Structure 1
């Protein structure tokens, strides 16, 4: 099993600095944004950034990397928003390929399910990726629900990807906020899709109550899911998956979350 944190790309070293931080924290995987998650602006990666990142990645044993798409992306949208979303996601997929990332994670968006699938496949095509060949895999992430957000129900998430080359990412906080116990969400995903299509697990505690539809992550053991997350981490069916913590970040919070996670892995 590989595990890591969502790391910042801010600072002089940018993306390369995130890989360096992963090494300092002793992580075996990492997740990053490839650009600002709250802007449509697309910035090319500098060759020095790519070289620095790939060198650190190699030194860390080929550190599996996940790229999270921009929060602005809504693949189910029509018109200009839909077009911007496709191009933004295609940019992340290209950057993922250049950086040797394993996965790109994106929220399906709000609107028509068929449009979300079509736009996801368009983004793959624009990025020049052949879905059945080696390269970064695109994953739809389950959501906390509310409004017209797609992917809150596990069956719906499965239906979004079942006849496509896409995979899924399971977020424990989102599942809980949508009304699931995380392991029950996993069971339903296995029933409707199969766990071979699950690439990444976001291991997050939840500030909100079960079924609250509140997408607000808490530190491990400090939210409403609590010790139940240990069962997810140690679930035998997930042994080969990548676990990413998207928990609040500070030196103290990182130390707490990694101490809890590593304690669970040691059987404490």
Structure 2
């Protein structure tokens, strides 16, 4: 099991700053943005930046890494927005390949599911040979794609795509993690297949069951509560990478909670 947080890349070290923060906390995984998550503007690699990141990976604690795609990406859109979304995602995939990052995670977007699938596969075509592209389950308001596990299973069938499982999003979409975490994992395995789910976003939920509210809470302090420990302790997830996207000011608290649940240290 590898675990860590979504970390900032701000500062002189750039991308490697995300690994520096992981080292400070003693975690073995890290997630980061390759560029501003709320802008279409790309971010060029500085001279030596990719090498510094790879060197830090080679000698440090971190063994699993992920890039989260921009929040503006909508693979279900039409026209110019779809094109911009595909190229933004391809840019993240290219950056991930240069940095040696394992996964790129993207919210599928809103619109026809076939359009989402087409966009994800085009991004892979534009940036071949990179990391594993994972479609994340969503909390599910409006026409957003990926609320139900069956929908994700259809999207990735017959493709190299995988799935990132977010606990807050699943709960907000109506999966009873507060009451039966093992049963939810059963359903995820039955529909998607756990072999296609390498990464878990471990987040508690501010919103109620089925609320559709994507608002993360500290571990054990939201509507899922202590039952979230059942996800950490599920033996079927022992080889997964756990990323916490919890409030940043509470990293130390959430890390202690995770380690207690996992029986680490």
Matched, 1:206 2:205: yes
Structure 1: segments with no counterpart, 5+ residues: 130-134
Q: Deviations over 1:40-67 (max 9, x none)?
A: 0012111322122111111125621011
- Please name the residue that 1:111 is paired with: 111
Residue 154 of structure 1: how far off its partner (Å): 1.1
**Cα pair distance change 1:267/1:65, threshold 3 Å:** closer
TM-score (norm 1): 0.94
Kindly report which structure 2 residues correspond to 1:1-268, keeping only aligned pairs within 5 A, or say none: 1-61=1-61, 63-129=63-129, 135-182=130-177, 183=181, 184-250=183-249, 253-266=250-263
Residue 266 of structure 1: how far off its partner (Å): 1.6
SS in 1 for 2:164: strand
Give the CA RMSD over aligned residues: 1.3
Structure 2: segments with no counterpart, 5+ residues: none
Tell me, in whole angstroms, the C-alpha distance in 2 between the residues paired with 1:109 and 1:200: 19
Residue 259 of structure 1: how far off its partner (Å): 0.7
Q: Deviations over 1:163-198 (max 9, x none)?
A: 211000000000000010233332222112211000
Q: Deviations over 1:222-242 (max 9, x none)?
A: 101011110000101101000
Moved over 4 A (4+): none
Q: Contact (CA 8 Å) 2:65, 2:103: kept in 1 or not?
A: yes
